[in-house]
């Protein structure tokens, strides 16, 4: 069970899982803190950088919130302050805690931090690292082994949608599979609970576009039979 606790600083707030930690130094949210301890296991490029950390005895993922699209050209990682509970980091942390409580396959939230400066803030989140997993995007060409997993991916997405879980960026990069083809969803920034509706189909359409893009980048095409297999698992 996740136990939310909050540490308040002069210009910062840290939300963390009291069942895992006794407290979280603000320095833990700085890349340099881990680099100085030779504890950065790997770096994943994307919108900004995501760091996999050796936190002993576990591994964590540290992600700094950055904007995307045209706005990022002018405002890289600042957001308007409307209160701690409305920050991107706190909302994602609490959503993950709720999803975990409901038995949905997501990474466990560890800590989230917001650093306020006047009317704006920056934010970071730490979650547990899902070991021995690979993204659906990285497996797109492994049709022999991926095939049996597609129906399971569909069933997993259906489970999230039936509980009203909206994923704001449902792409092939945010669906992970482990060695037993267990399925996980990651990166719930801007995710939320919604009453099931047309957005469910929108989520699937977003995923299909992502799969087509990833396949094209690797010189292949998304086979319609593969997509139908995923939809069969979903029940559509």
Q: Clarify whether residues 183 and 123 are in a common domain.
A: no
Burial 160-170 (b: 16+ CB within 10 A, else e): bbeeebbbebb
What phi and psi, each to the nearest 5 degrees, are found at residue 2?
A: -75, 130
Domain boundary among 128, 157, 178: 128
Q: Clarify whether residues 54 and 85 are in a common domain.
A: yes
- Report CA dihedral (194, 48, 206, 190) to the nearest 10 degrees: 10
Q: Clarify whether residues 183 and 216 are in a common domain.
A: yes
Catalytic position from the list 169, 178, 189, 226: 169
Question: Which H or E element spans position 165?
Answer: strand 165-166
* Mean pLDDT, residues 73-78: 77
Q: Clarify whether residues 123 and 149 are in a common domain.
A: no
Distance CA(7)–CA(13), nearest Å, equals: 6
pLDDT, tens only, 178-201: 999 999 999 999 999 999 999 999
Average pLDDT across the chain, whole number: 92
Q: Clarify whether residues 103 and 212 are in a common domain.
A: no
CA distances in angstroms from 120 to 29, 82, 115, 134, listed in the order given:
18, 9, 9, 35
Q: Clarify whether residues 68 and 137 are in a common domain.
A: no
Cut 0.85: pTM above it: yes
Q: Clarify whether residues 82 and 191 are in a common domain.
A: no
Q: Clarify whether residues 195 and 208 are in a common domain.
A: yes
pLDDT, tens only, 11-52: 999 999 999 998 888 999 999 999 999 999 998 865 557 999
Q: Clarify whether residues 107 and 214 are in a common domain.
A: no
What CATH number should be reported for the domain holding residue 194? 1.10.510.10
Q: Clarify whether residues 145 and 121 are in a common domain.
A: no
Domain residues for 190? 133-234
- Report CA dihedral (137, 141, 142, 144) to the nearest 10 degrees: 130
What's 197's DSSP letter? S
Q: Clarify whether residues 186 and 122 are in a common domain.
A: no
Q: Clarify whether residues 162 and 82 are in a common domain.
A: no
Active site annotation includes 169: yes
């Amino acid at each position: 069970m996740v136990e939310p606790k909050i540490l308040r600083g002069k210009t910062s707030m840290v939300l963390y899982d009291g069942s895992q930690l006794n407290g979280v130094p603000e320095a833990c949210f700085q890349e340099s803190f881990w680099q100085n301890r030779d504890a950065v296991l790997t770096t994943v490029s994307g919108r900004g950088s995501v760091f996999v950390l050796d936190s002993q005895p576990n591994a964590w993922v540290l992600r700094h919130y950055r904007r995307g699209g045209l706005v990022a050209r002018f405002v890289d990682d600042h957001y308007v302050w409307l209160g701690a509970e409305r920050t991107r980091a706190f909302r994602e942390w609490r959503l993950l805690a709720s999803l975990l409580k409901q038995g949905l396959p997501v990474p466990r939230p560890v800590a989230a931090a917001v650093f306020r400066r006047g009317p704006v803030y920056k934010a970071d989140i730490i979650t547990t690292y899902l070991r021995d997993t690979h993204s659906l995007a990285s497996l797109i060409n492994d049709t022999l082994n991926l095939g049996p997993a597609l129906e399971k991916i569909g069933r997993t997405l259906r489970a999230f949608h039936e509980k009203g879980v909206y994923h704001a960026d449902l792409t092939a990069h945010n669906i992970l599979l482990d060695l037993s083809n267990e399925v996980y969803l990651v990166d719930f920034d801007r995710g939320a609970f919604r009453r099931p509706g047309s957005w469910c189909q929108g989520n699937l359409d977003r995923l299909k576009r992502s799969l087509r893009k990833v396949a094209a980048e690797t010189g292949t095409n998304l086979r319609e039979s593969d997509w139908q297999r995923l939809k069969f698992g979903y029940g559509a």
